[in-house]
Amino acid sequence: MIVFKTNAEIELIRKSALMVSATLTEVAKFLKPGITTKSIDQLAETFIKDNKGIPSFKGYHGFPGSLCISINNVVVHGIPGTTLLQDGDIVSIDCGVYMNGFHGDSAYTFAIGNVQEATLRLLRITKESVLKGTAQAKENNRVGDISYAIEQYCARENGYGVVRELVGHGVGKKLHEDPQVPNHGKRGDGKKLKEGIVLAIEPMITLGTRDVYTLKDDWTVVTKDGKPAAHYEHTTAVRKNGGELLSSFAPIEAAEMANPELNSSYYQKATATV
Ligand code: MG
Ligand code: MG
């Protein structure tokens, strides 16, 4: 059942979503080779709590971290631990914050240093695909219009794999609400979109084939072919003319550009061409 939000409630979701963006910005300042994923998680958890938020993921179905930290061939749900970031890695960081009774949910993939050109391109296309989906999050469209736009751009136009086992979702008082928002589908399929619906749109896109499996820890989702995967996510309100982003990448990008350990060349190029 879809839970519709009032504009006042959407403003509260925006606060939570922007706290996620602020947390990912702190992460962007901190990232460098040689740090553990656990240290990133601790930084984020402290930041969220200092700002009177609650990490949405901690304890969610028993998840042990405040962030999901997924390196290279890990698509999503990587558990923070003793793994060290290395030059050449990509790392997808998914964060949720609960404040004022509502969740915000957003994710961003960072490139650590000398990442291969083909992988940087995967990041650019995946990030752009979130906006392709968001543009379809408008009144009287259907969920399938969002799904189709993402699959069209990532798979058919750019030849990447679109992971099907995991999907975007409604977000509000609960972290995961109806409707599910797959990253593949047909135009005109699925639930009709109306103002008051808030969605987490989150393409999970692979450099190789789209097949994934879950490791024995029951969380970590990896690509079957071992190739890298990227994951970007925005919390978005359905509006008359297209989705309104409630989370923001702008402060994350500014921190990414200012951090010499991070490779932001992929979207600098994107800005020039899009
Ligand atoms: Mg997320
Ligand atoms: Mg999500």
pLDDT digits (tens, 9 = 90+) for 58-70: 999 999 999 999 9
Is pLDDT above 50 for 140?
yes
Q: 13 CA distance to ligand 1 centroid (A)?
A: 14
CA of 272 to the centre of ligand 2 (A): 29
| pTM summary value | 0.97
Q: How confident is the model at residue 271 (pLDDT cuts 50, 70, 90)?
A: low
CA of 136 to the centre of ligand 1 (A): 20
φ, ψ dihedrals at 141, nearest 5°: -70, 175
Pick the more confident residue, 223 or 272.
223
Average pLDDT of the segment spanning 63-90: 98
Compute, in angstroms, the gap from residue 181 CA to the centroid of ligand 1. 13
Does residue 131 surpass a pLDDT of 50?
Answer: yes
CA of 181 to the centre of ligand 2 (A): 10
Of 3, 2, 10, 8, the closest CA to residue 243 belongs to 10
DSSP-based three-state secondary structure for 27:
helix
Residue 126: half-sphere exposure toward Cβ, Cα within 13 Å: 28
> What pLDDT sits at residue 268?
72
pLDDT at position 269, please?
65
Distance CA 274, CA 143 (A): 25
pLDDT for the residue 274: 42
Average pLDDT, the chain: 97
Answer yes or no: is pLDDT of 188 > 90. Answer: yes
CA 145 to chain centre: 19
Residue 101 predicted with pLDDT over 90: yes
pLDDT of residue 86: 98
Cα–Cα distance measured from residue 245 to residue 200, given in angstroms and rounded to the nearest whole number: 10
How far apart are the CA of 155 and the centre of ligand 2, in A? 21
Query: CA 148 to CA 48: how far, in whole Å?
Result: 34
Separation of 232 CA from ligand 1 center, angstroms?
8
Q: Residue 168 Cα, ligand 2 centroid: separation in angstroms?
A: 6
Percent of the chain's residues with pLDDT above 70: 98
Q: Please state the rounded mean pLDDT for residues 3-21.
A: 98
Ligand in nearest proximity to the CA of 95: 1
CA 256-126-246 angle, 5° bins: 70
Residue 72 CA, ligand 2 centroid: distance in Å: 19
Nearest to 184 by CA among 157, 212, 203: 203
Q: Side chain identity at 239, as an amino acid letter? A: R
The SS3 assignment for 93 reads strand
> What pLDDT sits at residue 270?
55
Q: Rg (Cα) of the chain, in Å, rounded?
A: 17
pLDDT at 266: 86
Edge to edge, the sheet with strand 177-181 lists: 177-181, 168-170, 198-201, 234-237, 244-245
Token pair recorded at residue 179: 């409707």
Question: Which has more pLDDT, 268 or 25?
Answer: 25
* Chain segment 199-240, per-residue pLDDT in tens: 999 999 999 999 999 999 999 999 999 999 999 999 999 999
Question: What domains lie within the chain, and their CATH numbers?
Answer: 7-269 (3.90.230.10)
User: What's the average model confidence in pLDDT over 17-35?
Assistant: 98
